[in-house]
Every structure is written in structure tokens, then in C-alpha cells.
Structure 1
Amino acid sequence: MPNGPADLPPSELKSVLRKQRLAARAALTLDERRAKADAMTRHGVMAIAVETGSLVSGFFPIRSEADIRPLMADLADRGARLCLPVVLDKETIEFRTYAPGVPLVETGFGTMGPGENAAVVDPDIMLVPLAAFDREGHRIGYGGGYYDRAIEKLQQKGRKPKLFGIAFDVQEVAKVPFEPHDVRLDGVLTESGFRSFG
């Protein structure tokens, strides 16, 4: 499992690991990503329990991310309500209700999401895209801090959503430099299965 130079400050080491693991993810062929995403869906269907009416935030894939739309559809079939993140500005995302088949609009950074008429909600479970993770449940995001700020805002409201990272096995590293503001994942879903950190 790769890691960068250990003597770098945490933020710089995160940047090195982010680039390495995103490059490894991008090196997967489209067929490989599809097969691995199918395996993720099978594992996620068995591992992620939802209560009727619980709100699950997912995402539509951009670049080389795993396509978790089949998993989201399964969660909806089991009674979950879905929402998607929408970029509001350079610092903020909000979560808007989504139902399969509802038309989406461009929401920044190549993402698609529900339009302004969709209700803004607070998710109970968050399926979180990421650049890298380790076996302790620490993660490296894409560097914008959107999810970190969204999670902090939810916590300030007294909410504590379950955080499940979504990644391919090639995105695992030996150790993520953990800083005080970082929030640990409750679990991670890869093509090899679901790992709980609780």
C-alpha cells in the first residue's frame, strides 16, 4: 500500500497521496471500473441497512468515480429517500431531494443535481466520494473541503450522519495524515466488500 514521504507536513502529504491515488483510479479502464462498481453494488446491497424514510445522500459519478446509481436505486427500493449534493459556491454544498428519473441540472464542477425547486434536506447516511482512505477510516477528499464543511454544519445542528466512503481498492493507502478537523468514516465500500470502522 503506497504512501508518500513521511516527513512532509500533513497537508502536503495529503496532496501527494491525493494525486497518487486519483491517478491510480484514473488508470483503471472503463470496463474495470464498471465491473468493480457492480461488485460494490452487490456488497452495498447486503451491508448498508436503511430504515424506511431515512435520507441517503449519494452522487452521480464524475471523472473516474464509481457509478453508485444502481446502489442508490436499491436503497430507494428498500424505502430510503435520496438526495444529491449541489455546489452553491466555492465553499458550500447543500443536499437536495432526488428521485430516480427526475430531471437534473448542471450544478458545477461537472456534476449534475436537482434544481432549485427540490427541497433542501439533512442526510442520515452519506455516501462520500474520496481520493484516498486508510484502514482506520481516515479519508482524503478532493481538496475543496466541501464535505468537511457540510458534515461540520450538520453536526452543529445536532445531526450525526453515518459516513460511508465510496472508493476502489487502489485508493487505499497505508496511513492518512489525520488532523483535528478531519472526520473519520463509519465505513468504506469498495469492490472487495464493506469495511466498518465503528
Structure 2
Amino acid sequence: MSAKALLRRELLAARRLLTMEDVERAAAVLARHALGLPELAGARTVAAYVSVGREPGTRALLDALRARGVRVLLPVLLADNDLDWAPYEGTGNLAKAGRGLLEPTGGRLGPDAVLEADAVLLPGLAVDGRGMRLGRGGGSYDRVLARLAAAGAHPALIVLLYGDEVAARVPEEPHDRPVDAVVTPDGARRFGRGRGPAPVPRP
């Protein structure tokens, strides 16, 4: 088993120990900290995702961004594991899809819609002090990041995690790209290029 696969297994096992009350309580705090990030405070379009199960909750954040007038884009998983995008129009316009995901029911905008985003929320399982993220291993967001790089687009990359998922070091591969910030229930940290992570004051 690879180092990435082993770490994923350990982190997913730890998440399974969380109660839904733990998840909901953390989600409210995550939203508050995330909304204080300058990268989200000034964003007009944010590409995000709907958390499911015991993932760090995003729904409170999605609703808060929408209430601010931010255009929120949500992913729609394609047959080849690439991602299309559609606008978030509230929880009543989400439907169950494959792999237990929740997806928007609105009109599809195409995979290139993510290029319009000022910030992208990435799902993940861990991040280290360099900003390197460990994803779920499906490769969908590797395609998103490659699409952004190919277009010369540089939105802020942000990952939401639980506090114990900030690791000493995350195994990386040549195509992996660091994120700009991590948000946990303990607060937010931004990763400056060429320097250590900078804490963000709590709102």
C-alpha cells in the first residue's frame, strides 16, 4: 500500500469516529473562520462542493456566501471522473447522485466554468505545513487544477479540514499543487510562497 493510501485509510477511519453532532458543530465554526479569509471576502465567484457524511461541513458556508451575493458553483461528476459545474441555488435544488454525492439540479455550465472562480474550495483529507493537500484519490480535482494551470488561472485554493488533519508532511507526487489556505475549527492558516504559514486572525 502506498504512503498516500495508508494515510487516507487512517484519516477516513478517524472521521468515522465523529458523531453527526460533532460534524454539525464544526461546520458552523468552519464557516465563520472561512468567511474571514480575505480570499473569500473579496470573491465574486467561488467554486465549492457539498460536503457529505462526516466530511468537514460546507453547507453553512455555501449559504453564507450565497447570502452575500457570491456566485457559488458546485461540481457535477462526469462519467470520466472530470467535473462539470452548475450554480448553487439553495439546498432545495440539490439531488442525490452517484457515490453518495449531492449535486445541483440547475443547468450545466461546462468544465471550464471553474476558470471564472476567484476561489476554489477543494475537498481533502489532510494538508501539511507547506500547503500540500492529500485528496481522496479519485483524481477529479487533479483535473480541475490542471485545467486552471493550463488556462493561466490562479484562484485562491482553500481546503476545509478538522484540526487533527493538519499533518507534519503529506506524501506528494509531481502533479500535486499546494493550496493557499486551510481552514479548521481552530482557525485559518494561509500559506505564503517562500515562507511559512501565516495565521489569520479569528473574526
TM-score range, shorter chain: 0.7 to 0.9
CA distance in 2, matches of 1:116, 1:71: 19
Does 1:175 pair with 2:169?
yes
SS at match of 2:98: coil
CA distance in 1, matches of 2:182, 2:142: 16
Q: Which digits, 9 at most, give the CA deviation of each residue in 1:80-138, with x for residues without a partner?
A: 10011110024311222222255223332111212362433222211111112112111
Name the amino acid aligned to 2:7.
L
CA distance in 2, matches of 1:117, 1:107: 15
CA distance in 1, matches of 2:148, 2:32: 29
Q: Which digits, 9 at most, give the CA deviation of each residue in 1:21-68, with x for residues without a partner?
A: 11112211221122111111121122253336x211222122211221
Name the amino acid aligned to 2:148.
L
2:181 match: 187
Q: In the TM superposition, what are the counterparts of 1:16-35 in structure 2 within 5 Å?
A: 16-35=6-25
Identity of aligned residues (%): 33
Q: In the TM superposition, what are the counterparts of 1:46-57 in structure 2 within 5 Å?
A: 46-48=36-38, 49-51=40-42, 54-57=44-47
Name the amino acid aligned to 1:181.
H
Q: CA contact under 8 A between 1:50 and 1:75: conserved in structure 2?
A: no
CA distance in 2, matches of 1:163, 1:71: 15
CA distance in 2, matches of 1:89, 1:118: 14
Segment of structure 1 superposing worse, 16-25 or 184-193: 16-25
Change (3 A) 1:169 1:101: closer
1:40 match: 30
Compute the RMSD of aligned alpha carbons.
Answer: 1.9
2:152 match: 158
How far residue 14 of structure 1 moved from its aligned partner, in angstroms, is 0.8
Match of 1:76 among 66, 75, 83: 66
Q: Which runs of structure 1 show a deviation greater than 6 angstroms over 4 or more consecutive aligned residues?
A: none
CA distance in 1, matches of 2:14, 2:91: 32
Larger proportion of helix: 2
TM-score of the two chains, using structure 1 as the length reference: 0.86
TM-score of the two chains, using structure 2 as the length reference: 0.84
Match of 1:98 among 63, 81, 88: 88
Q: CA contact under 8 A between 1:50 and 1:79: conserved in structure 2?
A: no
CA distance in 1, matches of 2:92, 2:120: 20
Name the amino acid aligned to 1:183.
R
2:201 match: none
